[in-house]
């Protein structure tokens, strides 16, 4: 379900391009952050011979112990989920 946000300004024609470019910049920053996080996850996957989705499943099920390294890995996974959620929110946005 789409929701609407209202922004009031005295000069919408000048503001719209600024807002549009800010959204594009934010999307690029999120893409960059997602890429860096995925690279960090690959380091853990190679170190432990386990992909992140399987690690996440095992970690949630408490099938593996909580070490500092595993907690760091878990935080990277959570960061990736958060970044992807933000990116999807931007993808869905429309500026009329």
Residue spans of the domains in the chain: they are: 29-92
pLDDT at 93: 84
SS3 23: helix
Rounded CA gap, 44 and 42, in Å?
5
pLDDT at 6: 87
Question: Residues 38-85: pLDDT tens digits?
Answer: 999 999 999 999 999 999 999 999 999 999 999 999 999 999 999 999
Residue 56 and residue 74 in contact, taking contact as beta carbons nearer than 8 Å? yes
Rounded CA gap, 74 and 79, in Å?
9
pLDDT at 82: 98
Taking phi first (over 0 means left), then psi (-120 to 50 degrees means alpha), and beta for anything else, what does residue 62 get?
Answer: left
CA dihedral sign, ordered 73, 78, 81, 87: negative
């Amino acid at each position: 379900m789409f929701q609407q946000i209202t922004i009031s300004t005295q000069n919408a024609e000048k503001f719209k391009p600024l807002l549009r470019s800010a959204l594009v910049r934010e999307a690029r920053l999120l893409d960059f952050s997602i890429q860096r996080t995925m690279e960090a996850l690959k380091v853990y996957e190679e170190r432990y011979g386990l992909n992140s989705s399987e690690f996440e499943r095992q970690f949630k099920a408490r099938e593996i112990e909580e070490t500092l390294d595993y907690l760091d890995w878990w935080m990277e996974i959570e960061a990736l989920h958060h970044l992807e959620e933000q990116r999807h929110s931007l993808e869905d946005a429309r500026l009329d």
